[in-house]
Amino acid sequence: MDDRLDLLLPGLVTRDDDLETEFEALLGETSTLAFRVAFGVLRHQQDAEDVAQESFAKAFRHFRRLRDRTRFRAWLVRMAWRTALDRQRSNRRRGARELVVDGSALTEAARADGLADQAARDRAAALWTAIDALPEKLRLVVVLSGIQGHDHREVATLLRIPEGTVKSRMFLARQQLKETLR
Amino acid sequence: MTSDELDRALEEALRVEPPVGYLARVRARVAAEQTATATRYTWRPIGAMAAAGVVLVVGGLLLERDDDHGRLATNTATVGTVSAPGTSSRRVVGRDVVQVPTVTRNRGASAVPLERRPGHAADDAGNAAPNADRPAALLISPDDSEGLRLLRALPEAALAVPVIESAGPQTPQFSRIDVSPIQLDPLAELTPLTLGELQ
């Protein structure tokens, strides 16, 4: 079937193959980023993985429409962020999911950084509790800024707000976090 | 806690590694999406062709139906039924069947009866025509009706019908005309005058 298609429509098949190859390369680069964005919103490992998979499926479906491939990273992050928010609202409606700190993920992160002690785990749990207490606008700015590689400008691009707004929200978020963690 | 310590704590908290096998599962999900997309694109032209076929069939049926309505309307408009005075009849105007009052001229025998086809006493809806037992007549002008009446009366009255035949294009016929030659008297010979003779 593929051979016949290749004979009949060589240009189309080649173009599809190129798209798939390009998407595969971008998927390898950004898979962890999508997972972290989803985890920063949902705070649940399985939900974060589901959201990341759904985001990549959406991205593949609409990949042809993305003219500027260099914007794939921001595009995917925005998609994962919105999908995670939808999942979070759905979880809240069901009321069946308790947003708690995923201990296994924290343990892996702590092991990776050499912070496997109980004090570090307690401090991380307190930090997440403080982040959860933030208003949603501030919380999203904090989460997106905390992900490695995102500066204020990138966060502003992701949220489609001015860079100055990101800075002011980060300032307010830090103030509240310091108050809570004091 | 200083701002640097807070930023460092945030970065550590968000440095969460995906579970084992996460990338493989994402790739499997994308591969499933590829298959679904390919299936969608495969069926799309087939669905489009099927939809086009349905549209053609329905359009053909509608056109055929319009032709039938057009023929019926034409027939009804050309030859109608003349009902009793004061009653109404159903006429087809375009696609609509309208109830129109019938105006009949009191000409009695001048109306030429129209042979009614069987099955026309009732319409498609099963409504019996109000004048099903009455003969139908042509709707023609009074002058034409009078002419037809005279034509029908010709054999009975054994009247000779003046037949006007057209001989086609005629060429003018010329007869020979004898014209006698004009004879002129010869002029009298003039005698030369001598000078001073008549003076």
Q: Where exactly are the structural domains of chain B?
A: 8-68, 79-152
Rg over CA atoms, chain A: 19
Both tokens of A50, joined, read 């589901």
On the question of pLDDT at B126 being above 70, the answer is no
Highest-confidence segment of A113-117, A155-159, B109-113, B166-170: A155-159
pLDDT(B82) > 50: no
Backbone φ and ψ for A132, nearest 5 degrees, come out as: -65, -30
Q: Which of A52, A60, A145 sits opposite B33 (nearest CB)?
A: A60
Compute chain B's Rg from CA coordinates: 51
C-alpha span between A42 and A51 (Å, rounded): 9
* pLDDT(B3) > 50: yes
Answer yes or no: do B15 and A148 touch at CB < 8 A: yes
* pLDDT at residue B165 is higher than 80: no
Please list, in sequence order, all residues whose beta carbon lies within 8 angstroms of the beta carbon of residue B44, skipping any fewer than 6 positions away: none
Asked if A50 and A152 touch (Cβ cutoff 8 Å), the reply is: no
Q: Give B13's contacts in chain A (Cβ within 8 Å).
A: 106, 109, 124, 127-128, 131, 146
What average pLDDT does chain B have?
A: 69
* Band of pLDDT at residue B161, cut at 50, 70 and 90: low
Encoded tokens for A9 = 């429509």
Asked if A51 and A38 count as a contact pair (C-beta separation under 8 A), the reply is yes
CATH fold, domain A1-98, is: Rna Polymerase Sigma Factor; Chain: A (1.10.1740)
What is residue B184's predicted lDDT score, i.e. its pLDDT? 78
Contact list in A for residue B10 (CB cut-off 8 A) is 127, 131, 142, 145-146
Residue at token pair 């039924």: B81
Residues of chain A with pLDDT under 50: 1-3, 5-14, 97, 99
| Mean pLDDT score, B116-123 | 50
**Tell me, what's the pLDDT at B81?**
46
Contact A87, A50 (CB under 8 A): yes
- List the alpha helices (DSSP H) in A9-151: 10-42, 45-61, 72-94, 103-113, 118-132, 136-146
Residue ranges of chain B whose CB lies within 8 Å of a chain A CB: 1, 3, 6-7, 9-19, 22-23, 25-27, 29-30, 32-34, 37
Q: Domain extents for chain A? A: 1-98
How many beta-carbon pairs under 8 angstroms link A with B?
A: 95
DSSP for B15-56, written as a single string: -PPPPTTHHHHHHHHHHHHHHHHHHHHHHHHHHHHHHHHHHH
Contact A31, B16 (CB under 8 A): no
What does the angle CA A31 – CA A174 – CA A102 come to, to the nearest 5 degrees? 45
pLDDT band at residue B36, thresholds of 50, 70 and 90?
confident
Which is higher by pLDDT, B141 or A51?
A51
Q: What is the pLDDT of residue B97?
A: 53
Q: Coil, helix or strand for A105?
A: helix
pLDDT at position B79, please? Answer: 45
pLDDT band at B185 (very low <50, low <70, confident <90, very high): confident
For the stretch A44-71, pLDDT in tens is 889 999 999 999 999 998 888 887 877 8
CA distance B154 to B163: 13
